[in-house]
């Protein structure tokens, strides 16, 4: 504040001395041409130039996809430029090879078990057909036996019993009549008593035979036929049940055999998947570069694990062995002052140059503008200067840039067609009002002007000046002025940080323009 106050006092004092100095007529002397700039109207290119750092747009991580831990056997040198699919690391494959061989042995055993299970399934299928056929044959036999007995044997046996009963009744009737006749003849003394006794015996025998025949018929009707039918019905039911049992038992046994086959098939499928995984694990023992770039050990965001990245070092699954910036698409990261951030838009074209490649100009494009300012200072605190992170992306080209090099970016904002403009050092601000000193025949005249946008070299004048007028390149009100000021003495106040354009620089070097106007 003291410096600003002192500068203001000196400026006002110098101005007062300039206008009230007794030898004021000396100020009317012509101003040298080298201290003047001729106002002209031309296209004014508005651009913003800022220094940044070249980085890769994307970085690919080379991570280990192993299970458990293993050690590094081979490692490419850090900083080496590698091509895509180039081998950059090899991991000890001993454990993975052992696991692969174990799975292969298990697959051989499972394939043998599957063959046996399928054979047993085929055998069971044949046995089920044979058993069911046998049971159905027995059922058919039982059905025919009951039909045979009911419709053939039983009626035949009953007929025999009925015939036997009739024979017995006939014999009984004959014996009864013979007995009665013999008794009458005995009473008349025609026959002996012994003959009567013989007829009595024959009669008794006939009675017994008749009762036996009747009993046999009754027994057949009451017991033999029903019991035989019951036995045959039981055999038929047993045969029917045997058919059903054979079907169910066959389905159950066949289902078990089928499930056993399915289980073995699933086990084989799982083991084949394990074999595929083990083969992939073995392949993963060799790490290749996913893209062309420069090898950087470890993860830049996790530097505390970097010590593991060495030959013989132990690493685990998903460990970042190295990071490879993809050099095919590069970016320049910039930090733009908050006063200029409103001028930028995504999609604006830019020209990028580097000291590493003199004379090379690369075309770029603004691809990202941060929404929030980054205000952290280098010491970890909060800085009063607010800057926004901006990314300018370069298309893939023949020249391969290295990340980390410094780059200068000129962002092309707009072109003001047929604009009236003057060098920045010709405009001065005081209490929010802008002034220029116009060269006249009577000396420099202070004139109020309205300014527009600007770049690093020129500022647009919207009102207050005319095409062809000449303005001073310094402030004559300040003490010690009167000749071409140096860069330190210009006194110009830069209201906005717009950058110089090619057309504006060409206008500054055209005839009638001061040599210093293009600086």
- Encode pLDDT of 57-98 as tens digits: 888 899 998 888 889 999 999 989 898 999 999 999 998 899
Q: Which residues contact 235 (CB under 8 A, 6 or more apart)?
A: 142, 145, 146
- 302-336 burial, b at 16+ Cβ within 10 Å, e below that, comes to eeeeeebbeeeeebeeebbbbbbbbbbebbbebbb
- Match 């831990």 to its residue by tokens: 69
Rounded CA separation 31/213 (Å): 171
Assigned token pair, 78 = 């850090």
- Match 């002052």 to its residue by tokens: 337
pLDDT at 455: 84
pLDDT at 510 over 70: no
Q: Which of 18-22, 127-131, 425-429 has the lowest mean pLDDT?
A: 18-22
Predicted confidence (pLDDT) per residue in 94-139, tens digit: 988 999 999 999 999 999 999 999 999 999 999 999 999 999 999 9
Rounded CA separation 476/482 (Å): 6
Contact 362, 351 (CB under 8 A): yes
Rounded CA separation 254/124 (Å): 6
- Match 């690919």 to its residue by tokens: 60
Q: Which long-range contacts (CB under 8 A, 24 or more apart) does 195-204 make?
A: 199/175, 202/175, 202/178, 203/172, 203/175, 203/176, 203/178, 203/179
Contact 106, 264 (CB under 8 A): no
Q: Which residues contact 173 (CB under 8 A, 6 or more apart)?
A: none
Rounded CA separation 390/400 (Å): 22
- Does 250 or 517 have the greater pLDDT score? 250
What mean pLDDT is predicted for residues 1-18?
40
3-state secondary structure of 280: helix
pLDDT at 303 over 60: yes
Assigned token pair, 6 = 């002192």
Contact 143, 240 (CB under 8 A): no
Q: How far is CA 206 from the centre of its chain?
A: 109
Q: Which of 123-137, 368-382, 437-451 has the lowest mean pLDDT?
A: 368-382
Share of the chain above pLDDT 70, in %: 85
Predicted confidence (pLDDT) per residue in 178-230, tens digit: 888 888 888 888 888 888 888 899 989 989 998 998 999 899 889 988 999 99
CB neighbour class for 64 (10 Å; exposed up to 12, middle 13-18, buried from 19): buried
Rounded CA separation 157/224 (Å): 10
Question: Beta-strand (E) ranges in 245-329?
Answer: 286-288, 293-294, 296-297, 314-316, 320-325
What mean pLDDT is predicted for residues 406-426?
92
pLDDT at 444 over 60: yes
What mean pLDDT is predicted for residues 234-258?
92
| Full-model pTM | 0.50
Query: How confident is residue 516, by pLDDT bands cut at 50, 70 and 90?
Result: very low
Rounded CA separation 253/247 (Å): 10
Q: Which residues contact 459 (CB under 8 A, 6 or more apart)?
A: 421, 422, 423, 424, 427, 451, 452, 453, 495
Rounded CA separation 27/64 (Å): 80
Query: How confident is residue 373, by pLDDT bands cut at 50, 70 and 90?
Result: confident
- Match 């009747």 to its residue by tokens: 214
Query: How confident is residue 504, by pLDDT bands cut at 50, 70 and 90?
Result: very low
């Amino acid at each position: 504040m003291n410096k600003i106050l002192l500068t203001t006092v000196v400026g006002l004092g110098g101005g007062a001395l300039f206008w009230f100095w007794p030898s004021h007529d000396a100020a009317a002397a012509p101003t040298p041409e080298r201290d003047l700039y001729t106002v002209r109207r031309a296209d004014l290119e508005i651009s913003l130039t800022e220094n940044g750092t070249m980085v890769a747009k994307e970085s690919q991580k080379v991570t280990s996809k192993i299970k458990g831990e293993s050690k590094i056997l081979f490692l490419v040198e850090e900083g080496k430029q590698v091509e895509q699919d180039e081998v950059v690391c090899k991991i000890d494959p001993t454990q993975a090879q052992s696991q692969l061989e174990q799975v292969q042995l298990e697959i051989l055993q499972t394939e043998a078990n599957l063959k046996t299970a399928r054979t047993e399934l085929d055998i069971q299928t044949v046995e089920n057909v044979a058993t069911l056929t046998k049971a159905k044959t027995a059922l058919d036999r039982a059905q025919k036996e009951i039909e045979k007995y009911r419709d053939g044997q039983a009626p035949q046996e009953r007929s025999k019993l009925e015939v036997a009963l009739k024979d017995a009744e006939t014999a009984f009737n004959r014996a009864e009549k013979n007995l009665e006749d013999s008794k009458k003849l005995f009473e008349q003394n025609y026959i002996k008593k012994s003959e009567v006794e013989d007829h009595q015996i024959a009669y008794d025998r006939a009675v017994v035979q008749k009762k036996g025949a009747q009993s046999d018929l009754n027994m057949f009707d009451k017991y033999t036929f029903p019991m035989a039918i019951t036995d045959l019905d039981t055999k038929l039911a047993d045969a029917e049940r045997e058919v059903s049992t054979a079907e169910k038992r066959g389905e159950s046994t066949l289902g078990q055999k089928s499930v056993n086959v399915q289980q073995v098939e699933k086990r084989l499928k799982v083991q084949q998947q394990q074999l595929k995984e083990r083969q992939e694990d073995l392949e993963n023992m060799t790490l290749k570069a996913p893209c062309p770039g420069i090898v950087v050990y470890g993860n830049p965001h996790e530097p505390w694990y970097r010590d593991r990245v060495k030959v013989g070092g132990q690493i685990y699954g998903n460990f970042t062995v190295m990071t490879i910036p993809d050099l095919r698409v590069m970016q320049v990261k910039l930090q733009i002052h908050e006063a200029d951030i409103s001028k930028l838009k995504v999609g604006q074209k830019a020209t990028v140059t580097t000291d590493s490649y003199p004379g090379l100009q690369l075309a770029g494009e603004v691809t990202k503008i941060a929404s929030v300012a980054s205000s952290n200072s280098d010491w970890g605190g909060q800085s009063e200067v607010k800057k926004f992170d901006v990314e300018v992306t370069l298309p893939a080209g023949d020249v391969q840039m290295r990340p980390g090099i410094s780059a200068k970016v000129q962002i092309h904002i707009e072109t003001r067609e047929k604009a009236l403009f003057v060098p920045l050092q010709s405009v001065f601000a005081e209490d929010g009002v802008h002034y220029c000193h116009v060269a006249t025949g009577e000396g420099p005249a202070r004139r109020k002007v309205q300014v527009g946008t600007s770049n690093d070299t020129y500022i647009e004048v919207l009102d207050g000046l005319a095409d062809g007028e000449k303005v001073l390149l310094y402030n004559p009100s300040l003490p010690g002025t009167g000749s071409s000021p140096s860069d330190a003495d210009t006194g110009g106040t830069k209201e906005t940080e717009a950058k110089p354009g090619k057309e504006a620089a060409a206008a500054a070097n055209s005839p009638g323009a001061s040599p210093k106007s293009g600086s």
